[in-house]
Amino acid sequence: MRWLDSFSGNQKSKIQNPKWIRVVAIVATFAFGGAVAQAQQPNKVIRIGFLGGASLANLSVRIKAFMQGLRELGYIEGKNIVIEYRWAEGKLDRLPALAAELVSLKVDVIVTAGGTSTRAAKEATSTIPIVMFQDNDPVGNGFVASLARPGGNITGLATLAPELSGKRMELLKEVVPRLSRVAVFGTSNNPGNAQSLKETELAANAFKVKLQYLDVLDAKDIKTAFRAASKGRAEAILVLVSNALNLHRTEVVELAAKNRLPATYPFSEFVEVGGLMSYGVNFVDLFRRAATYVDKILKGRTPADLPVEQPMKFEFIVNLKAAKQIGLTIPPNVLVRATRVIR
């Protein structure tokens, strides 16, 4: 054993002691075994459940913003996170089953893309953390006890959608000064629909505008609603936040143009497919900010103690091409307030 030659006589005798050799061997075995186990122990891959009432194509821009937010925080899909997408494709009655699927997969957190999705997730689990991308009234909808102290397994972002409906009515009146009749398209089973309609009615009363509410529960109701609006002599359309209408926004926009009706929408996506104008929350910003909630929860924070945040960015978008198509001139004092103009 040549390696012993470098030791002194006392050191040699100690090392050659059988009892000491056994101790060294045991320690070495544990040390080596621990190193191997550590080397073989894979990093935990985080599973995020995504529950949406619409489709990926419908929310692609917002999803990209969410993924960008995650990347900025060090979460890379396929590397240290896996996202389990579940889309209802507009068939909202599928949401409870899809939520149950995510729970059965034991995801670490569920993110929801709207009030209907949040309700389905809430009914499916009281333990898995839920992050709302958006909700028009989290307290009124029973998702949280208060914005400051949610108190349960749900937190995230609010949109103030009901309050913004009144602002859309105001802008519509400015664009069409002689406006007297407006058809309001909504979806009665959409969380927050009643509050949004109430705010719209308050604004309409102030401007002496008569409203005709038309319920759009799914795609087949869209043409029926436009026929009813025409019969009711509507001079413009105001669209409330609605999964059904957003999912079929191209059809809504085309029918509004065909009927030469000025229309205002809650989401920028309507304007980007040819709608006249939209005013509301910057949803891309909300989805990006939702990533910070996921990060905090994965690092040990509980939804009960994470305050629900309100919007920071709003956008007013005007499509001059759409205005020209129906022979409408947007007043300069309205146009100057737009955050984006499509020419």
The answer to the question of residue 22 being in a domain is no
Q: What does the block give as tokens for 315?
A: 């956008």
Co-location of 117 and 173 in the same domain: no
Co-location of 222 and 136 in the same domain: no
Co-location of 135 and 260 in the same domain: no
Give me the number of domains the chain comprises. Answer: 2
Element at 244 (helix H, strand E)? helix 243-247
Co-location of 239 and 260 in the same domain: yes
Q: What is the Cα–Cα distance from 307 to 316, expressed in whole angstroms?
A: 27
Co-location of 250 and 129 in the same domain: no
Co-location of 61 and 175 in the same domain: no
| 165 Cβ contact list (under 8 Å, min separation 6) | 196, 197, 199, 200, 203, 238, 240, 266
Q: Specify the pLDDT at position 327.
A: 96
- Per-residue confidence of the chain (343 residues) as pLDDT tens digits? 444 444 444 544 444 554 544 544 444 444 444 444 333 334 678 999 999 998 888 889 999 999 999 999 999 999 999 999 999 998 889 999 999 999 999 999 999 998 899 999 999 999 999 999 999 889 988 999 999 999 999 999 998 777 789 999 999 999 999 999 999 999 998 878 898 999 999 999 999 999 999 999 999 999 999 999 999 999 999 999 988 899 999 999 999 999 999 999 999 999 999 999 999 999 999 999 999 999 999 999 999 999 999 999 999 999 999 999 999 999 999 999 999 999 9
Torsion of CA 163, 169, 170, 171, to 10 degrees: 110
Q: What is the Cα–Cα distance from 146 to 91, expressed in whole angstroms?
A: 30
Element at 278 (helix H, strand E)? strand 277-281
Q: Specify the pLDDT at position 125.
A: 98
Co-location of 180 and 220 in the same domain: yes
Q: What does the block give as tokens for 91?
A: 């068939």
Q: pTM for this one?
A: 0.81
Q: Specify the pLDDT at position 289.
A: 96
The answer to the question of residue 4 being in a domain is no
Q: Specify the pLDDT at position 264.
A: 98
Q: Is the distance from CB of 284 to CB of 294 less than 8 angstroms? A: no
Q: Is the distance from CB of 294 to CB of 109 less than 8 angstroms? A: yes
Co-location of 138 and 168 in the same domain: no
Q: Is the distance from CB of 153 to CB of 110 less than 8 angstroms? A: no
Co-location of 146 and 258 in the same domain: no
The answer to the question of residue 338 being in a domain is yes
Assign residue 103 the CATH number of its domain.
3.40.50.2300
Co-location of 204 and 323 in the same domain: yes
Element at 322 (helix H, strand E)? helix 320-325
Co-location of 325 and 205 in the same domain: yes
Domain assignment of residue 295, given as a range: 46-160+283-305
The answer to the question of residue 20 being in a domain is no
Co-location of 298 and 338 in the same domain: no
